[in-house]
Amino acid sequence: MAKPIPKRVSRRNGRISSRKSARKIPKGVIHVQASFNNTIVTVTDVRGRVVSWASAGTCGFRNTKRGTPFAAQTAAGNAIRTVVEQGMQRAVVMIKGPGLGRDAALRAIRRSGILLNFVRDVTPMPYNGCRPPKKRRV
């Protein structure tokens, strides 16, 4: 007597709900990278796994408008809206870069209703910097 061949069930179809909506995140870290050309806002959980992100470019701003404070404010609002729905209440903010969107992004984060534990500036500063160019000989 031959054994019946068992049906292979794919793992992809076996999922009941998507993982993003199932996860509850009470605390998180908000990273704001503000360059002169763009502002990127990334929201992670405490372990560093990315939950949500947005940039001025993904919000529909193009060319030089991506570096404006209004674009940074919109990007921060879009990134935080999804995590507030997942239940984030407290956050730590890490701001990096010299761009115009630094303050505007922080203002948008404060307005969202998330309690901020602290705000830290993590802009990399060189101790000695790059080697200067050789002297000009005329």
Q: How does residue 11 score in pLDDT terms, banded at 50, 70 and 90?
A: low
- Can you list the domains of the chain with their CATH numbers? 27-121 (3.30.420.80)
| Beta carbons of 123 and 95 less than 8 angstroms apart | yes
* Global pTM value: 0.76
| Beta carbons of 121 and 95 less than 8 angstroms apart | yes
The helix (H) or strand (E) run that includes residue 36 is none
How much is the pLDDT for 41? 94
| Beta carbons of 33 and 97 less than 8 angstroms apart | yes
Task: Dump pLDDT digits (tens) for 84-138.
Answer: 888 888 999 999 999 888 999 999 999 988 899 999 999 999 898 899 999 999 8
